[in-house]
Amino acid sequence: MTGRHNNSLILPRARRGESLATMETVSSESGEFRYMKAIPTGDVCTGCHGTQIAAPLANALKERYPADRATGFVAGDLRGAFSVRIAADGL
Ligand code: HEC
């Protein structure tokens, strides 16, 4: 995933109040077809990515994903994006 590219396409739109649930973009650049869709944080996600993670779960996450930094999100936050790039000459 190309983080900087995603941020420049999605973050300004999120700041203007566009719904993350339907936010997507399609473009053709540098010989590539590109598609991206925002991933909103839902209530179900905050159990692991939220601000208050239940102790047994927090311990399991720490043990299995010691490098995890994906916490502190609240419902409605931009959680990430699906990004697909396909070489246009293959289409
Ligand atoms: C049961 C715990 C759990 C729940 C619930 C959960 N996640 Fe995750 N998520 C994880 C873990 C653990 C990782 C890290 C996986 C890894 O490092 O391989 C992760 C990774 C991710 C990543 C990629 C890494 C990053 O932080 O950018 C995204 C995006 C993501 N989750 C989004 C979501 C969304 C959206 C939801 C709700 C629809 C959700 N997750 C619900 C545990 C969870």
For each of the chain's 91 residues, which pLDDT tens digit applies?
345 555 677 888 988 999 999 999 999 888 899 999 999 999 999 999 999 999 999 999 999 999 999 999 999 999 999 999 999 886 6
pLDDT of residue 3: 52
CB 73 within 8 A of CB 50: yes
| Rg, C-alpha atoms of the chain | 16
pLDDT of residue 19: 93
**Cα dihedral angle (7, 44, 73, 14), rounded to 10 degrees?**
40
Ligand 1 pocket, residues with Cβ under 6 angstroms: 39, 41-42, 44-45, 47-49, 61, 65, 68, 70, 79-80
Neighbouring-strand partners of residue 7: none
Neighbouring-strand partners of residue 26: 35
pLDDT of residue 9: 78
Residue nearest to atom 26 of ligand 1 (CA): 70
Distance 86 CA to ligand 1 centre (A): 25
pLDDT of residue 88: 84
Other Cβ atoms closer than 10 A to 18: 13
